[in-house]
Structure 1
Amino acid sequence: MIDTTLRTSSVGERIAAQDWDALTDELNEYGNALTGQLLTPAQCQEIAALYDESERFRATIDMARYRFGSGQYRYFTHELPDVVRELREAFYPLLLPVARGWAEMLGRPARWPDTLAEWLAMCHAAGQAKSAQILLRYGPGDWNALHRDVFGELLFPLQVVIGLDAPGADFTGGEFIMTEQRPRAQSRGSSTTLLQGHGLIFTTRDRPVASRRGWSTGPIRHGVSTVRSGRRRALGLVFHDAK
C-alpha cells in the first residue's frame, strides 16, 4: 500500500521531509545514504517509459561498446521532464551543506553557489554545457563497471540514483555497488538494493576519511552488479553538467 502522503505531496516536499540529519551522518560515515520513498510506482513507470521517446535525449550510450559493462543509458537534453527537474532542484540545496562541509575538511574551495541555476551557469561558462541527467536500462546479464562520474573540472561531490523498478518483482540481482580506497588499508566494498521510488545519495568521486593527520581523501567508485533476471531501470541525477 502506498502512503497517502505520497499522493498528496509534491516531489520537493517529499525530499524536504527526509531525515536530513540522519542522511548526513550516513554520508559522512559511508559516502552513501538511502532515502525513503520519493516517487510513487506510477511516477516511476512514467519516467521509465520516457526511454522510448528519443527526442528527449541528446545521446545514447551502449555500455558494451565502450567497455563500461553491459546495458544502455541515455542522456536527457536540457528540456528535462518536470519531475526530473523538480527532483534535481529540490535535492541541490539540501546536499549543499554536505558538499561545503566536505570541501572544508579536505581543504578544497567550496565554490558552489546557493542555487542550482547559478552553479550550472558556472559550469556552462567553463565549457561544461551538456546535460548529464541519465536514464539507465539493464536486462538479464547486464552490469555497470566501477567508475566515477567526473565530466570536467567543475563537479559537485554528490549525486543521486532513483530506482524505477521493484527488486524481486521486476528484476533480480542488479545491486548498486561501491568500493572505497582507504588510507594505508585494503579497499572496502558495499552493496545496496535500490527499492522502487527510493533514492541513493552517493559521492561522485571521493569523501573525507578521518586519519591520524586529520582528514584524508577516500576515493570511491560505483557500479551495478549483474542483473540476473528481468529489467532494472534507474534515473541518475548529476548536479554538474558535462563537456
Structure 2
Amino acid sequence: MNAPETSLDRLDWTDIGSQLDAEGYAVLPGLLGAELARSLARQADAPPARRVSLTSAGLGRGDLYYFDAGMPPPLEQWRAALYRRLAVHANRWNELLDVSSRYPDELDDFLQRNRDAGQARAQSHLSRLGVEDYMALHQRTEGLQVFPMQVVALLSEPGDGFQGGEFVMTEQRPRMQSRPLVAPLACGDVAIIATGERPFHGSKGYYRVNFKHAVSRVRKGVRIGLELFFHDAP
C-alpha cells in the first residue's frame, strides 16, 4: 500500500483539473489499491461507526456508517493529502465564479473555519448497499463553509462482489435538461466529484451548474462505498 503523498505525486493534477472543469468529475483508477479498499470495507458495522438508515434519511435504501469517532489513520492521511492538492483547483473555481473567499492550503485550517462557523458534524462515511438497495440523487452543501469537491471510492469488487450499483451523477444547467453521467468504478478506484455547484464555460462566459450524485439499485451481492468530505455539517 503506497503512502498518500507518494501515490498522489505520481498523478497529473493539471489533467485532473481539466477533467473536473470539463465534466465535474475525474476518476483516479486504482488509487487506494485493493488491500486498503478491503481493509476499509471491513469497517462497515464496526462499533465506532454510527449507522444511519438511508430510508430514515429519505435518501434511498441501505445503510451509512459515519466516522464520528474519527477516521482510521490511513484514511485521514488520504483526506489531508487530497485536500492539499484540490484546494488549488477549488480556489480557481471560486475565481471563475467571482467568489471572493479562498480556501487555505491545509485541511486543518479549513476545518477550523468549519468549527468557527458552527460546523462540527462529520459527514465522511462508508455506505453498505445490499440487494435492492440504492442511494438517491443528493448533494451535501449545508453550512457556510462548503468545499466544492468531494471524494468517492468503491471498496467492493464489481461482478464478483456485487452487480448493479453503478455510480451515477447528474448536472443541471440553467434552462436545459439534466445531463446524466456514469463513472464506471473498480475496487480501489477513487473519483473526485463536484459537491454541488461548479463553474461551466458557456458562450457568454462562466456560470454555475448544479451537480448531484447517486448509486443505482444493487441487483446482487453487497456494495461497499466510501465518501470523503472536506467540510463538516452544521
1:150 partnered with 2:141? yes
Question: Which residue in the other structure is 2:101 paired with?
Answer: 110
Tell me what 1:171 maps to.
Answer: 162
Give me the identity figure in percent: 35
Tell me, yes or no, if the aligned pair for 1:16 and 1:90 is still in contact at 8 Å. no
Shift of 1:236: 0.9
- Normalised by the length of structure 2, the TM-score is 0.95
Q: Which moved more, 1:209-218 or 1:122-131?
A: 209-218
Partners of 1:232 and 1:151 in 2: CA distance: 27
Is 1:132 the counterpart of 2:123? The answer is yes
- 1:36 matched to which residue of 2? 29
When the two chains are superposed, the root-mean-square deviation of aligned CA atoms in Å is 1.3
- Distance, in Å, in 2 between the alignment partners of 1:189 and 1:49 is 31
How far apart in 2 are the matches of 1:178 and 1:202?
9
Distance in 2, Cα, partners of 1:164 & 1:94: 23
For 1:47, the aligned partner's letter is: L
Q: Map residues 63-212 of structure 1 onto 2, 5 A cutoff.
A: 63-212=54-203
CA distance in 2, matches of 1:92, 1:21: 15
Aligned amino acid, residue 80 of structure 1: M
TM-score (norm 1): 0.92
Distance between the aligned counterparts of 1:156 and 1:124, measured in 2?
14
Q: CA deviation at 1:211?
A: 2.3
Residues 92, 239 of structure 1: 8 Å contact kept: yes
Given that 2:168 and 2:181 are in contact with CA atoms closer than 8 Å, whether structure 1 keeps it comes out as yes
CA distance in 2, matches of 1:12, 1:171: 31
Structure 2 contact 45–51 (Cα < 8 Å) conserved: no
Residue 213 of structure 2 is aligned with which of 222, 227, 231?
A: 222
Structure 1 residues 78-118: Cα deviation after superposition (integer angstroms, max 9, x where no partner) = 52201110110110011111101111111112331111000
1:52 aligned partner? 45
Look up the equivalent residue of 1:20 and give its one-letter code. Answer: W
Cα separation, 2, equivalents of 1:189 and 1:143: 17
Amino acid across the alignment from 1:227: V
Structure 1: gaps (5+ residues)? 1-6
| 1:161-207 CA distance string (max 9 Å, x none) | 11101111111111111111123321110111221111010000011
Query: What residue is the counterpart of 1:24 in the other structure?
Result: 17
Structure 2 residue runs without a partner (length 5+)? none
Equivalent pairs counted in the alignment come to 234
Q: Distance in 1 between matches of 2:189 and 2:5?
A: 14
